[in-house]
Each structure stands twice: as structure tokens, then as C-alpha cells.
Amino acid sequence: MSTFHVNQVRKDFPILDTKIHGKPLIYFDNGATSQKPTQVISRINRYYENENANVHRGVHYLSDQATQAYEEARTNIASFIGASSPKEIVFTKGTTDGINTIAYSLGELLQVGDEILISGMEHHANIVPWQLLCERKGTILKVIPVLEDGTLDLEAFSRLLSNKTKLLSVVHVSNTLGTINPLDFLIKQAKSVGALVMVDAAQSIQHLPIDVQTLGCDFLVFSGHKVFGPTGIGVLYGKLDLLNSLPPYQGGGDMIDQVTFEKTTYQEAPLKFEAGTPNIAGAIALSEAFHYLNSLDLQSAFAHELTLGQYLRANMKDLPSMRFIGEAPDTCATLSFLVGKIHPLDLGTLLDKQGIAVRTGHHCTQPLMHRFNIPGTVRASLAFYNTQEEIDQFIIALERSIHLLS
């Protein structure tokens, strides 16, 4: 029996009571950022009011308290994603920062002609760092094509793999299409040619259970602000032996062991990758977000969200001139669409006037837009605090907007 009660959960998110242009907020832009529960907001305040000090560097009480909370955050997050040790959790600024860390650090060990494999549905954050690496080191970037239904061309993927493939870096869930990629197959195939695997979980950790040991990936990255935590904090998971084998990405305080003008030695992971004063409050508040998730019946929460996504798609499909971009059989509650010749920006603007927040544009996936020969889409992306009643109101507002723009 489900113990997830959406109306009770909504009380934890104060922003959901906001009025936009005199209308109750309907927040369908969770793919861009999620809203924050009171527990997370309060934890940020409590840190700055009662614990504020730098970590790892002081012997006084506040520094000890801050360090303890910061390292407890690492332990809590390691447990949530099934890491074998807290040392496998590196705090970053977000998904982009985590990908860049590996692109630079692993990149230092690659040779001319080594190949990096990504997919055609990647966010720019999982494209540009590899392009920079190719320019710097002479490596080669290869791309798995996307089929018309928004799934990956797995036959082409198998052909692209070779003993030159050193890393597969792939998104778990497409931020634009909602497609859930078959990680089990992708990782198994990549491992068969000796490649490392990095998973971009920015759009999946808030929707799906994740266990990095079960997945068998070598690296995994995500952003705090998309999993009900604050902005400016994220996580890079890496197998400990791999992290310790890589050179540091940045130099500075806290990542060093000994410094002389002749030579510097470094800490082991994870501190080796956390140069400078970290986002202490962000890490602690992100941990609180995972405490909050653990307080819910997550299986029921995820099921509620999936049902909402199916309800949304079913109620939109018969609207006049509706075109879904990507219709993969396995998706999260994220839906990109176009309506006839109406520009996405115009549709998004009219929806905003009715209190509805959606995202319009290319969603930082310009190559994917080129694949479908479109300038952009309207994207509705749901979270477990959304409701069927909100979808009903969205459909009414959408129909009204389409009528006005047709």
C-alpha cells in the first residue's frame, strides 16, 4: 500500500503556494531545476546561523562541527547511490563541473587517436568538454545516432565501439526527450572493449533508483539543484582506485599533502579534487535533500510521477497539430512537443501568463534539435510534487493558448 500522499508532500515546498500573474503556480520546469523543501532551506539557514566555519583546517569547535557535517554529507550521499566508500564522492559545482573534471584529469592520460564515445542526445555539458579535450590532446569524438522515436541506435553503437574507445560518456535520461537509455546494455558493451563509462545522472537521480555498483559505471555525475537541493553543488562519483590514479583537475588549498617550491604532493581522493574552500553549506544542504527523499516512500513517489507523465501524454496527444519530439517506450515524466507552426517561445509566454512554468528553446541540446530539424521545443517536466489536477489545468491553458495563436 502506498504511503506517498502528494498533497501532504506539497506542504513541504513553500514556493508551490506562489501566485504568478494572479494564478496559482503550476511548476512544470523541473528538468531545469527542482524546488526545495523547507527542510533543505532550513538546513542552509542552520549552518550559517550555528555552524559556519571552514572545514578540515581548524581545531576550534565550529570548524570541527562544520567538518563533521560536511563529511557526514559525503557518507550520506555515498549510501544513497550505493558507492562502496564515502571517498568515492567528490563534491563539485554541479554536473558540468564533474564532467569537466574527468575530461581534464582522465584526458591527461589519453593519447592521440584515442576515442571518446557520446550520444546524439547529450546536453552541451557532455559535448563541449570532450571537444576541448580533442583539441588539446588529439583524441577523437564519436557520436551514437538518435533514431526518429528518440532512442539510441544500438546497432550503430555496437559498430562504433572498438579497442580505441577509452570512455563512453552517456546521459541516463535525456533532459529534452525524457528517454531512459538502456544503461545495462551500454555499460556491458563498453566494458567488453575495455572502455571506462561515465553516466550523466542529472536527469535521472531524482526520478529513478540508482545504485552505482549494480550499474557498474566507473564515474557518475549529478547536480544538487535538480534533486531538491541547492544550486552550486554537485557530485562526481568515481571508483576509488580510478580517482586515485588520475591527476588533479585544480590546484590549491586542501587538495595538497606537502608543498615546497620544488614539488607538491597531493591528498588522495576525494580531497585531491576539492581544491579551495568548498561549498560547505551546499554539500550539507544536499545531504539534507537526500535525507528528505529517504523519509518518503520513494518507490511510490516515483510510481506517482510516472503515472503523471503517462496521463500528461495521453491528454495531450489528441490536441490539434500536436507533435511529440521523441516517443521512446521507456521515458521519465518529461515531454517535449511542438504545435503546428506555433513558435515554442510564443506558446511558453502565453502559458506563463496563466501561471504555468515550462521551458522553451533548445534545452542545451542544439545537435539534437538539428537531428529533428527543429529550432526548439516546449518542454513540460514533472516531479513527484506535481498533481493530476495541475495537468488538467495545463491542458485547459494549452488549448486556450493554441486557440489564441492559431
- As annotated, the active-site residues are 364
3-state secondary structure of 33: coil
Spatial distance between the Cα atoms of 168 and 17, rounded to a whole number of angstroms: 42
How far apart are alpha carbons 240 and 89 in whole angstroms? 9
β-partners of residue 359 are 379
Q: Are 167 and 198 in contact (CB under 8 A)?
A: yes
In this structure, the strands spanning 196-200 and 165-171 are parallel
374: nearest Cα among 45, 148, 41, 38: 148
Buried b (16+ CB within 10 A) or exposed e, 238-261: bbbebbeebebbeeeebbbeeeee
Beta bridge partners of residue 19, listed in sequence order: 24
Q: Is 203 left (phi over 0), alpha (psi -120 to 50) or beta?
A: alpha
